[in-house]
Amino acid sequence: MSADFEKYFQTVPPVLPAHIAIIMDGNGRWAQKRAMPRTAGHKAGIGSVRAVTEACARLGVQSLTLFAFSTENWQRPQKEVSVLMELFLRSLQKEVARLERNGIRLRIIGDRTQFSERLQVLMAEAEAKTAANDRLSLNIAASYGGRWDIVEAARRLAEEVAAGKLSPEAIDAERFHAHTALAELPEPDLFIRTGGEKRISNFLLWQLAYTELYFSDALWPDFREQDLALALEDYARRQRRFGRTSEQVEQVTRA
């Protein structure tokens, strides 16, 4: 963590989000600007993952969800996908010890059946090794899509109805949420997308209903603690109303 970043959060008590969700966009463009293969950008982005994860743990953020690989990303050139899978494999092997030292729990959400058996085993082992950690929940969305998440939840509910365990009338938003990928965690308070694009790209469609959105022009490999500080400063200025009026929120705050 940089000295400037730590100094800022020592002098200005932030209104911290409990859960931050990030689309790590711009790896390919970062590499192309440097006349390098797109895969070089993915490798460079690992440094940002490490910096942002450890900064969130240091600040007291409870959960961090990173969009690493979407269901649509399988359509990318096979060479790029292969490099990404190998990078994912090496990162799991290398970073787990670091996560353990920092008290960070790793969870991977998404359709694991799409990954190789070896990678699935490493995912399970990494989750098991960090399961007791409670300083920060780091959730990696891999082979994940918001629509996939919603369909999976609907399918599980349909199975319960078909088995006679649940009546259709008993299905409500709370029961539906209990079947989604991040059901055990608070919904994201702050969504960040790097790289200058302004869309959510099938990420946590159910969970982002009332999340505050923040878009950074920084390409992901360049995104560091100072960029996170800007996002958190912006978040602290927001008034979250959840359907209520400003006057109602102010009354609750004063009370």
Return per-residue pLDDT of the chain as tens, 255 residues. 555 666 666 654 468 999 999 999 999 999 999 999 999 999 999 999 999 999 999 999 999 999 999 999 999 999 889 888 988 888 888 899 999 999 999 999 999 999 999 999 999 999 999 999 999 999 999 999 999 999 999 999 999 999 999 999 999 999 999 999 999 999 999 999 999 999 999 999 999 999 999 999 999 999 999 999 999 999 998 887 767 677 665 665 555
Sequence ranges of the domains in the chain: 16-145+187-254
Which pair of structure tokens corresponds to residue 247? 């006057």
Catalytic residue annotation: 25, 73
Sign of CA dihedral 222, 226, 229, 230: negative
> Which CATH number is 16-145+187-254 given?
3.40.1180.10
State pTM to two decimals. 0.91
User: 46: helix, coil or strand?
Assistant: helix
Q: Where are the beta strands (DSSP E) in the chain?
A: 19-23, 63-70, 104-109, 136-144, 190-193, 212-215
